Amino acid sequence: MAVKIRLTRIGRHKRPFYRIIVTDSESPRDGRFIEILGTYDPLLKEGGVEIKEEKAIGWIKKGAEVSETVKSIFARAQLFKKAKEPKAS
């Protein structure tokens, strides 16, 4: 079972809104998912992204594949830099 982090659409007609989810790679776009990691509103210029960073970093470290769109969202939020930093113990 390959796990992916990708978007699922929940917006209405001409008003897109997406959830950032963890799902099995064979599940359909709007089908079953394992966990919700955040939301993305492409129509807002700033503040359109909410991410549960600890959970997202955890899934990335477990080896979840990240889609290209989510990869660019995470890069803007500097999530990959935070994932590489050692955690203080």
How does residue 45 score in pLDDT terms, banded at 50, 70 and 90? confident
Delimit the domains of the chain by residue range: 3-84
Question: Residues of the chain with pLDDT > 90: what percent?
Answer: 72
* Domain spanning 3-84, CATH architecture: 2-Layer Sandwich (3.30)
pLDDT mean over 63-87: 85
Burial class (CB in 10 A: 0-12, 13-18, 19+), 21: buried
- pTM, two decimal places: 0.85
pLDDT given for residue 51 in this prediction: 95
pLDDT given for residue 78 in this prediction: 87
Q: Measured between alpha carbons, how far is 89 from 5 in angstroms, rounded to an integer?
A: 27
Task: Classify the C-alpha dihedral 47-68-9-35 as positive or negative.
Answer: negative
**Comparison of pLDDT for 2 and 88, the residue scoring more:** 2
